[in-house]
Amino acid sequence: MEKIYARTKGLRPDVVSGFCPGCMHSTVIKLIGEVLEEMNQMDNAVAVLGIGCCGLHMEYMSYDNVTAPHGRACAVATGIKRANSKSLVYTYQGDGDFASIGLGESVSAANRGENITVIFINNGIYGMTGGQMAPTTLLGMKASTAPKGRIAEEHGYPMHMCEILNQLTAPYYLERTSCNTPQNVLKTRKAIKKAFQNQLDGKGFSMVEIVTSCPTNWGLDTMKSLDYLNEKMLTEYPLGVIRDNG
């Protein structure tokens, strides 16, 4: 029988996913592995992982990786890339990591046009630590630190990282995708590949923001969390290319 699908070599063959049911981290890390394999970059890739469920990525991947202190992934990736300019260096960060504690490092790396790739997982909440409010939490969305839901007057408004970085001169490529439908999974795959290719071509800073779900901390089952993502998250965070200098 013709083999039409195989598990990517980017994922360890001996480990099964420990992510919660319906969590899209597992989809995204599979896509990254597939893309690296397709681009023949697995021996050349270095992943810099944020802290959080995003950091669990290290349990599954079969290529080089390092975990950065919470929020500092872009700074660590900068060092690795500058020291090994031929390596394909990417960060994999949650919204707490990239947009909250790491905001300074993230904006600074983008502003310098560092030749790195950022995979930014926006699930609107701190996943690993139990659902605290993130900069990306929606207005009205409940969090353990905002039990009545996010209120603009108290907590400020949801932050749109692609649009914020689009104010800077240096970034080369900024796209927001999701994994809510098979079609969007394929679009996310394409965006990741493009962002990696940009780096190999020396184009500078590329980011793919992926809007995902956290059923566990949203307090929703897998199907309802998908509805919430479609109806609420994607209204606040519309998908599309925000900048493409290519």
Ligand X SMILES: Cc1ncc(C[n+]2csc(CCOP(=O)(O)OP(=O)(O)O)c2C)c(N)n1
Contacting residue, 23, 42, 118, 133, with ligand SF4 by CB under 6 A: 23
Distance of alpha carbon 56 from alpha carbon 176, whole angstroms: 22
**Mutual angle of helices 25-38 and 182-200, in 10-degree steps:** 50
Token pair for 138: 């929606």
Helix (H, G, I), strand (E, B) or coil at 118: strand
Q: Provide the residue type at 118 as one letter.
A: V
Token pair for 75: 């700074």
- Tell me if 97 contacts ligand X by CB under 6 A: yes
Distance of alpha carbon 97 from alpha carbon 150, whole angstroms: 19
Token pair for 113: 């046009």
Whichever of 23 and 118 has its CB closer to ligand SF4, that residue is: 23
Q: Which stretch binds ligand X (CB under 6 A): 33-41, 52-60, 153-161, 163-171?
A: 52-60
- Tell me if 136 contacts ligand SF4 by CB under 6 A: no
Contacting residue, 11, 25, 31, 195, with ligand SF4 by CB under 6 A: 25
Q: What is the DSSP string of 125-167?
A: B-TTTT--B-TTPPBT--BTTBTT-B-HHHH-PPP-HHHHHTT
- β-pairing, 173-178 vs 206-211, is parallel
Q: Which stretch binds ligand SF4 (CB under 6 A): 17-25, 74-82, 196-204, 234-242?
A: 17-25
Token pair for 158: 């949801």
Distance of alpha carbon 205 from alpha carbon 110, whole angstroms: 6
- Tell me if 209 contacts ligand X by CB under 6 A: no
Distance in Å, CB of 143 to ligand X, minimum = 11
- Tell me if 96 contacts ligand X by CB under 6 A: yes
Distance in Å, CB of 118 to ligand X, minimum = 13
Q: Which does 23 bind (CB under 5 to 8 A by kind): ligand X, ligand SF4, none?
A: ligand SF4
Q: Which stretch binds ligand X (CB under 6 A): 128-136, 142-150, 158-166, 199-207?
A: 128-136
- Tell me if 105 contacts ligand X by CB under 6 A: no
Task: Give the residues lining the site for ligand X (CB under 6 A).
Answer: 50-54, 69-70, 94-97, 101, 121, 123, 126-129, 134
Binding site for ligand SF4 (CB under 6 A): 19-20, 23, 25, 53, 123, 127-128, 214-217
